[in-house]
Structure 1
Amino acid sequence: MLLTKQLKIINRVSARAFSAKEVPQFTKDRYPVKRGNYNALNDHDISHFESILEKHRVLTGSDTDMYNIDWIKSVRGASNVVLKPKTTEEVSEIVKYCHAQKLAVVPQGGNTGLVGGSVPVFDEVVISMSLMNKIEHIDEYSGIVRCQSGVVLEKLESAVNEKGLIVPLDLGSKGTCHIGGNVSTNAGGLRLIRYGNLHGSVLGVEAVLANGKILNLMSNFKKDNTGYHLKHLFIGSEGSLGIVTKLALHCPTAPNAVNLAFVGLESFQQVLNAFLLAKKELGEILSSVEMIDEPSLMASTTMCNLQSPIQKYPFYMIFETSGSNDEHDKEKLNNFLKNAMEKSIIVDGVATNEPSKMRNIWESRERIAESLLKMGYCFKYDISLPLSNFYDIVGAVRERVGSHAKLVSGYGHVGDSNMHLNIVCEKFSQEIYKLVEPFVFEYTSKLKGSISAEHGIGFHKPKYLHYSKSPEAIELMKQIKNLMDPENILNPYKVLPLS
């Protein structure tokens, strides 16, 4: 390797900690929200659900606790029942009944979201997709995978790897999140710069509508230009228009050669310079570009007992290449690193193609979110910003919150302009909440950015949707919602503003 620093191999820790120090307040108490005009669950409803599902797949009482709280512990519902179907037909029967009885429902995958989109706000019926976890078919010739929506992303990745394929999506939560939840939120992740978003990779879906009808939009072809592309209504709609139960996903051929570089830089301007040089010199083999600031890496290494691959710098970047010829790719990566160091863009770093070392490097990035939660309550913002102003918001928020915050940091997918902004404080308080919202969204809007890059709108952001969408666009969304779910039983209080 051209770089002098060496990475000390560390043991990978796979567990994701739910580490907030206390159970959050009920959402209805923390935020100003009024319960919709829905019926309350009763014993007859429970009995009916038990007639659809086996009794052990109808959870009540304390068994529902973990389904009522999101993993960052920012919201908490009060659902009295969690249903665990195994088939689309069971989901259909559940939703048909809820529609007739005017019971609100919340579909839930791995519950790894950051905007409160997959947990109840009040006493909605939770439909957990965890038992809908079958991979039905993998076609190694076309690269098309058909599976149920409850398949864990990491399990899907392992299965397609055996066929020489790769899932076009990689997330830090891959050991827990469901592919259906990824589709429903249009998750982005680490590979978007190479493979694009899920609107391009998802070939078809099967979904249960608000009245319980099953809509089959599955397809085995990348080219299927027959009428309106209705599948796109469900990609990113967060279960508010229908519950995705199956999907067809195009998985590209897995690369034969993967190389990784972790580098240190002195300024954000050098981050931009490094990204520009990487695009020019690595071209078609560039598969991921990540930026991490020093406070984020400090949190990851300190709170998760990890070791930084290199010494301390204000900024770090990860460059991943994926190709078919290892010698060719290594040479290109080494030449890029050499040129970047000669131009004083990169100060220091490590490069490797050893799987264990690459896993350890990625771990320092993927566990940042977990580490920040271990430090206290974390306000997390997922936004898209112009690269020229990408990091400015971190300084602006630091100045605004001052001593109220223990730490303000930024990291994310610089390759696709996606910033993860974090404000860590001792505990949630209305004072800090009012300092950061709507300030973060106003700041983003002034730069013509997006208030949600890849995690959706969920419960936290509907009232801020106007910062990214015009009144005409929001009105059309409401009309689509009213057409497809006139009783508003599917994931209420989410995605669209209430007024």
Structure 2
Amino acid sequence: MSLHASLRFLTKYKVLICNVRYASQAMPQLSSEKYNVKRKDFAKVQNSDVNHFKSLLSEDRVLTEDGDVLPFNIDWIKNCRGQSKVVLKPKSTAEISAVLKYCNDRKLAVCPQGGNTGLVGGSVPVFDEVVINLMLMNKIINLDCISGSLVCEAGCILETLENHVKEHGLIMPLDLGSKGSCHIGGNVSTNAGGQRLVKYGNLHGSVLGLEAVKANGIIVDCLKTLKKDNTGYHLKHLFIGSEGTLGVVTKVAIHCPVLPKAINVAYFGVNTFDEVLQVFKRAKSSLGEIVSAFEMMDNYSIKTVIKNMNLTNPLPDYPFYVLLETHGSDIEHDTEKLTRFLSKEIDEGQVLNGIIASETAKIQAIWNLRENIPAAGLRDAGYLFTSDISLPAANYYQIVPMLRERLSSKVKSVYGFGHLGDGNIHINVALSEFNEEMLSLIENIMYEEVAKLNGSISAEHGVGFYKPKYIHYSQDDSALQVMRELKQLMDPNGILNPYKVLPETKN
């Protein structure tokens, strides 16, 4: 199919946005039993505690019925299940401050929670922690259209913010497949990356300021909207990526770039991963600053999403696929530039076939193929091991064939996809059912190789509940010691999101 024929084909392509809540309808095993975790010495919630929470909030914002609490105990991929007996829904920073002060005094463990879209078990309790869900803290406080600074509460849904700033000619600096349900506070707390990082950077650069509440209830106000503020320590960075273990993020000030006037997407097939790398290198040279995303999907990733999500691939069967997006200011210029680049790559044989889209519906249709891969994987396995890692570009894909060879017939499938533009690959391993021995084997093979390649065991989803015991592959003892000292300073009773991020010390 020629480039122009492919473009004609795309006009008939239908948009489908799929939302899969859980991997299956079966109730997941308790995390504490599944992963053999011992409960720490925290107090247990009593009726008097519940009554006190009701006095701080209101009766309707303190959930205690089993059916009401259950959804807050289970993670998105339905691999983790906690045992919380109470869920709190505060509406203000003052309420969170009062709740945390009380819990800290009583030594009640808490689990801060946003949209609960995480993939490493960081947003659900392990035992009976008090869940503090920020869904009702969803006010947009201010938008300065001149500077591009947005100030909002932590419970704002990313897509809501995206739509709001778009009305004012701006764009959110991050874009995630879960943007319809994830919260900006959770994005900041996990330092979420997403598809646009290659152009707009990570949240450490985009977050201008924030407000957070420490374990003892003290409110830390770093909610500045200045792009330059070099007065003392940059305390906001303590909370970005700390996954709720140092404090609860309650408000965020974030810089929103100008909405691009021209958005184009190219989707094309490539024969080998080495050729994908060469195309990436030439795309950066030929397209320069307009490249906003460069996503790679292997053949099995696309086959899985087509099979399980009722989507259609507008291209024939190829070993690798690339989704390249550009953001610019001149649609005619950018489209011509991208078309010229893709045509040259096809003529020279690096790209086997490709299509370009400039209209919103057609762009979304292509993005659906990429964004629905995680949900498709959940439908394809009795148990899905999913991990995001960072690797040098040259080594980006090599763990996938290595896992296929080492695991062989022990698993149903191994495939990789992700953000090649920033070195972040997502690796999925589908198993017939959960098997602790097999899980340990997969993780050890993968993370040992990550360490050899000087990569990171977590690129954008955080460490959460799953990865603390592997954090030493990415951080040495001196760094871990500083992290423990910070945790002890900020949360001496250890009530904030226990069992997450930092590994247990050996006695």
Q: TM-score range by the shorter chain?
A: over 0.9
Identify which of 477, 480, 495 aligns with 1:471. Answer: 477
**Which residue of 1 is the match for residue 163 of structure 2?**
158
Partner of residue 386, structure 2: 380
Q: What amino acid is aligned across from residue 279 of structure 2 in structure 1?
A: A
Q: Deviations over 1:380-402 (max 9, x none)?
A: 11000111111110011112222
Q: SS at the partner of 1:334?
A: helix
1:2 Cα deviation from its structure 2 partner: 4.3
Instruction: After TM superposition, give the deviation of residue 66 of structure 1 in Å.
Output: 0.6
Of residues 59, 67, 86 in structure 2, which corresponds to 1:55? 59
Kindly provide the CA deviation profile for residues 283-330 of structure 1, in whole angstroms up to 9, marking residues without a partner as x. Answer: 011110000001111111110000012111010000101100011101
1:4 aligns with 2:5: yes
RMSD: 1.0
Work out the CA distance in 2 between the residues paired with 1:471 and 1:318. 39
- What SS is found at the alignment partner of 2:121? coil
1:192-271 matches, within 5 Å, as 192-271=197-276
Q: Which runs of 5+ in 2 are unaligned?
A: none
Q: How does 1:82-93 map to 2 (within 5 A)?
A: 82-93=87-98
The within-5 A match list for 1:389-428 is: 389-428=395-434
Mapped contact 1:84–1:131 kept (Cα < 8 A): yes
Q: 1:73 aligns with which of 78, 94, 98?
A: 78
Once residues 168 and 162 of structure 1 are traced to their aligned partners in structure 2, the CA distance between those partners, rounded to angstroms, is: 15
- SS of 2:269's partner is strand
**The one of 444, 448, 453 aligned to 1:447:** 453
Question: Residues of 1 paired with 2:489 and 2:85: CA distance?
Answer: 29
Cα distance between partner residues in 2 of 1:17 and 1:346: 36
The answer for the alignment partner of 1:318 in structure 2 is: 323
Q: How does 1:295-374 map to 2 (within 5 A)?
A: 295-374=300-379
Return the letter of the residue paired with 1:491: N
8 Å Cα contact 1:401/1:432 also seen in 2? no
Contact 2:15-2:368 within 8 A present in 1 as well: no
How far the C-alpha of 1:498 sits from its partner, in A, is 1.0
- The answer to whether the Cα contact below 8 Å between 1:400 and 1:435 also exists between their aligned partners in 2 is no
Q: SS at the partner of 2:295?
A: strand
What is the match of residue 480 of structure 1? 486
Q: Secondary structure at the match of 1:394?
A: helix
Report the TM-score, using the length of structure 1 for normalisation: 0.99
- The match for 1:282 is 287
Give the counterpart letter for 2:226 in structure 1: F
Deviations 1:77-128 (A, max 9, x none): 1000000001000000110100010000000000000110010010000000
Q: CA contact under 8 A between 1:116 and 1:460: conserved in structure 2? A: yes
CA distance in 2, matches of 1:47, 1:168: 42
Spell out, residue by residue over 1:3-24, the C-alpha distance to the aligned partner (whole angstroms, 9 max, x if none).
4322232132343332325221
Q: Deviations over 1:354-397 (max 9, x none)?
A: 11110110011001000000112110110001111111100111
Please give the secondary structure, in 1, of the residue aligned with 2:79: coil
Work out the CA distance in 1 between the residues paired with 2:121 and 2:67: 20
Asked if the contact 1:3–1:348 (Cα under 8 Å) also holds between the matched residues in 2, the reply is no
The one of 171, 175, 200 aligned to 1:170: 175
| Helix, strand or coil at the partner of 1:206 | strand
Shift in Å, 1:426? 1.6
Q: Percent identity?
A: 53
Q: Which consecutive aligned stretches of 4+ in structure 1 deviate over 4 angstroms post-superposition? A: none
Measure the CA separation in 1 of the matches of 2:326 and 2:78. Answer: 35
Matched, 1:37 2:21: no
C-alpha distance in structure 1 between counterparts of 2:60 and 2:316, whole Å? 52
- How many residue pairs get aligned? The number is 499
- On the 8 A contact 1:3/1:349 being kept in 2, the answer is no
Question: Residues 404-442 of structure 1: CA distance to partner in whole angstroms, max 9, x if unpaired?
Answer: 221110000000110100001122112321220222111
Specify the code of the residue in structure 1 equivalent to 2:296: M
- Structure 1 residue runs of 5 or longer lacking an equivalent are none
For 2:281, the aligned partner's letter is L
AA matched with 1:470: D
